[in-house]
Chains A and B, each alone.
Chain A
Amino acid sequence: MIADLTRAERLWAMLILGALGLIGLAMAIGGRNDLLGIHGWIVLAAGLAGFIAVMRGRDAPEPSAERLNEYYDAPTRVGLILTLLWAVVGMGVGFWVAALLAWPDMTFDVPWLSFGRLRPVHTSGVIFGFGGNALIATSFHVLQRTTRARLPDQISPWFVLLGYNLFCVIAASGYLMGLTQSKEYAEPEWYADIWLVVVWVVYFAIYMRTLARRKEPHIYVANWYYMAFILVVAILHIVNNLAVPISLDSAKSYSLFSGVQDAMTQWWYGHNAVAFFLTAGFLGMMYYYLPKRAGRPIFSYRMSIISFWGITFMYMWAGSHHLHYTALPHWVQTLGMAFSVVLLVPSWASAGNALLTLNGAWHKVRDDAVLRFMALAAIFYGITTFEGSFMAIRAVNSLSHYTDWTIGHVHAGALGWVAMITFGSLYSIVPSMFKRERIYSQKLVEVHFWLALSGTVIYVFAMWNSGVTQGLMWRTYTESGGLTYSFIDSLVAMHPYYIARAFGGLLFLLGALTALYNVVMTIRMPAPASDDPALDIPAKPALQAGE
């Protein structure tokens, strides 16, 4: 890893890591009477550990110029492993909070084991830890293959990957200590937010610098989506997190927005986090790995165009469907609903484009669990977006809102779409990334597929049932016009579904563990005698970094 860096880059790395350590030290000292101080120590430890690692490797010989004839995949390799580790952590905590909802006494009166603190560890762990690492790792891979250009240098990809994971660690550890700005999916406090902005700008710069040096005349669809993901997430993140810290040595800050403007800003953010983090990024993934694995051309370039612009344009206006029947003015709700309904068209066009691409390769879907993961992801994407547009209709939302139906919808998307496309893509590149001939066990991939599918189906059906039951119980009136059920009656009715959900989640988690095991065993397999890299290299002549 460090031997890959040029001498100059090693110096830069030491400078950056040293600066990071100093910032950590300042936070630790300034925030010693605050939880900020603990994060200071974590940052200091991260900076110091990196600094020492680079320092110890700084005298290694300069990497050979040969490297410029190859793609730079080391960050992708590490990213793939981090993806799996976060999957296990995030889904493990997901399973735990699912069990907490069925057996609420399991907090044992320990503050950091309480539902309120663990839930964001789950959501951030899976969305940012698992999903984010998967997006970063695959985007570096796809970007180089589809531009036939090597990443511009060897330090910024590491900065992005490791810096991003530092953000994830700060976020998760903060939740456990009770640090949150109480905005869903944007819980981390101001200093973590600022750090993420820095990381994200570098990420975008890598994309632009690589695209600028591309050796293909056209930019492939996958890159449109990855870029939309990076750019829009930056905008969302910056705007929704505008806040004033109460002082520089405190973790606490106050949002710039208040009241209904705050709610609208938050759900403009929240919905587009779904759109550009959980959808656009993973569509980028799908657009590369699915046709590649199927060995089929994309069904329709024209449909790609329509769906891309439809999705990027329409999602932006749909956020208010999260605030139906609230203090938000009625007219904003109407517009959110109107855009959400039309949004179904480009969404289904994307799902359809993916599924029609499989025409002529359905026998492969049958035989190959990896491709089946991706095909199923496209189907779940279709189901989830249909459900989403349906739930965005005000009258439907009056039933579904605040219920487990939303949770069912979320996980149809999260498990069925996001996680399945990720696992499919991951299995399809792990062998080539680690220069192995094949995955360690195709059987285990098959096992994982069925665990994932049955887990998702159990989870989603349990939540559909419980959500609709809940919604109906809350609105059932007696003859005399009073409520038939108290809230606690509806909780009692949820109990069996919560157990079923925890079980479905457990199956899904076991699948993720299988994947981790399979990938570790693949890496530990002996390398093939001769690998033939000729097929997987950038365009010649080799490009100098920064050219």
Chain B
Amino acid sequence: MAGLIERDKVSGQTTTGHEWNGIKELNTPVPRLLWAFLITATIFSVTWTVLMPSWPGINGYFRGLLGVDQRVAVTQSVEEAAVERESWTSRIDSEDFAAIQADDALMAIVRETGAALFGDNCAACHGTNARGTPGFPNLVAAPTMWGDDPETVAETIRVGINGTSPETRYAQMLAFGRDHMLERADIDAVVSYVETLSRPELAAGMDADTLAYGAEVFAANCAGCHGEDARGMTDTGAPNLTDQYWTYGGDRASIRQSVYHGRAGTMPSWEGRLSPTHIKLLTLYVLDLRAHEQ
């Protein structure tokens, strides 16, 4: 129904005369405030496009009066940040481990920066507290598998373990059961023997002959990597089996699983992803955690 223009009592405005199923419209003029708002917003936006790279043309675009460019800006700020950090990164790069470790001020920076670096790169496997998660070793308390002098730790981080670097450390626990290298009975015996290495009290409940046989199996098959005394060997990266630290678990079922199916965990090769400075920093950070643990 069209045509009937009325005056609305509440607002004092007239209607447009249109009506749709009872809905009418007032002909209220657009408030001044809205025009002002529109003009302000437009001025702001147009000004912005004049200052910044904006309108496209046929060959390229208008660069903006301020000459800002996000690529230049990001390159610049990355460079500036590097310069700012140089006062201490240059020392990390040039000084040897012992000198850095002796310098409390520098080590304070290592701890602070290392925590975030560790959290972003290492914690996913080794845990936020660096105490390991199933399948990934405890870096704070457990003996290292490849050696714990700073150069070796840094090298381990650089090349990784079973990683993608051509120089990667390589270590594999063979699948003695799955690949038919040992009989089932041999495996059971050697598992019992290994159990007693870290928990001698268990021996009392086990058959002495089995343990003796297990020791033989161990000497013949395992000692080559884990060492005669089962204390691990840094040449092979095989872990110490006599302590309380287990990467994959020290209960009978887990040990059996390791012997039967083998293990070959991976630590990525960090070279290329982390800078040499960062690798050195993480080395210092991890060794510092270890030092505080003892």
Contacts from A to B (Cβ < 8 Å): 145-146, 148, 216-218, 220-221, 288, 291-292, 296-304, 306, 325, 329-331, 333-335, 337-339, 341-342, 344-345, 348-349, 352, 359-360, 478-489
Contact = CB atoms under 8 A, between A and B. Distances in A.
Contacts of B13: 300
A298 B37 contact: no
A391 B113 CA distance: 31
Given A291-B23, A330-B53, A339-B45, A486 B28 contact: no
Nearest to B41: A342
Contact of A299 (B20, B28, B48, B85): B28
Contacts of B26: 297-301
Given A339-B45, A488-B128, A301 B119 contact: no
A330 B120 contact: no
Contacts of B120: 483, 486-488
Contact of A360 (B11, B22, B128): B11
B25 A297 contact: yes
Contacts of B41: 341-342, 344-345
A369 B260 CA distance: 68
Q: Give me the 7 closest cross-chain CB pairs, A-B, nearest first.
A: A486-B119, A360-B10, A482-B113, A300-B28, A338-B45, A297-B24, A301-B25
A303 B42 CA distance: 17
Contacts of A489: 116, 119
A74 B65 CA distance: 60
Interface of B: 1-2, 8-11, 13, 15-16, 18, 20-31, 34, 37-38, 41-42, 44-46, 48-49, 52-56, 61-62, 64, 68-71, 81, 84-85, 88, 109, 112-113, 115-120, 123-124, 128
Contacts of B69: 330
Contacts of A345: 34, 37-38, 41
20 contacts: A146-B20, A216-B20, A297-B26, A298-B23, A298-B24, A300-B27, A300-B28, A302-B28, A303-B34, A330-B69, A338-B49, A341-B44, A342-B38, A360-B9, A360-B10, A478-B113, A479-B112, A480-B113, A482-B117, A487-B120
A146 B112 contact: no
B11 to A, nearest CB: 6
Given A217-B2, A345-B41, A486-B123, A301 B20 contact: no
B49 A335 contact: yes
Contact of B85 (A145, A216, A480): A480
B42 A342 contact: yes
Contacts of B28: 299-303
Most buried by A among B42, B54, B81: B54
B45 A484 contact: no
Contacts of B1: 216
A530 to B, nearest CB: 22
A348 B21 contact: no
Q: Which of B2, B20, B71 has the most CB of A within 10 A?
A: B20
Which residue among B13, B21, B115 has the maximum number of chain A CB atoms within 10 Å of its CB? B21
Contacts of A335: 49, 54-55
A5 to B, nearest CB: 26
A331 B120 CA distance: 33
B75 to A, nearest CB: 13
Nearest to B29: A302
A482 B124 CA distance: 20
Contact of A329 (B11, B25, B61, B119): B61
A359 B10 contact: yes
A482 B85 CA distance: 8
Nearest to A302: B30
B25 A146 contact: no
Nearest to A324: B70
A338 B50 CA distance: 11
Contacts of A218: 2, 18, 20
B15 A337 contact: no
Nearest to B113: A482
A190 to B, nearest CB: 32
Scoring A145, A304, A335 by chain B CB atoms within 10 A of each residue's CB, the highest score goes to A335
Nearest to B72: A330
Contacts of A292: 21-23
A145 B22 CA distance: 10
Among A288, A348, A483, max chain B CB count under 10 A is at A483
A334 B34 CA distance: 24
Given A292-B23, A330-B53, 5 more contacts: A288-B23, A297-B26, A334-B54, A360-B11, A478-B109
B291 to A, nearest CB: 21
Contact of A330 (B25, B34, B52): B52
B20 to A, nearest CB: 4
A391 to B, nearest CB: 15
A349 to B, nearest CB: 6
Contacts of B68: 330
Contacts of A299: 11, 26, 28
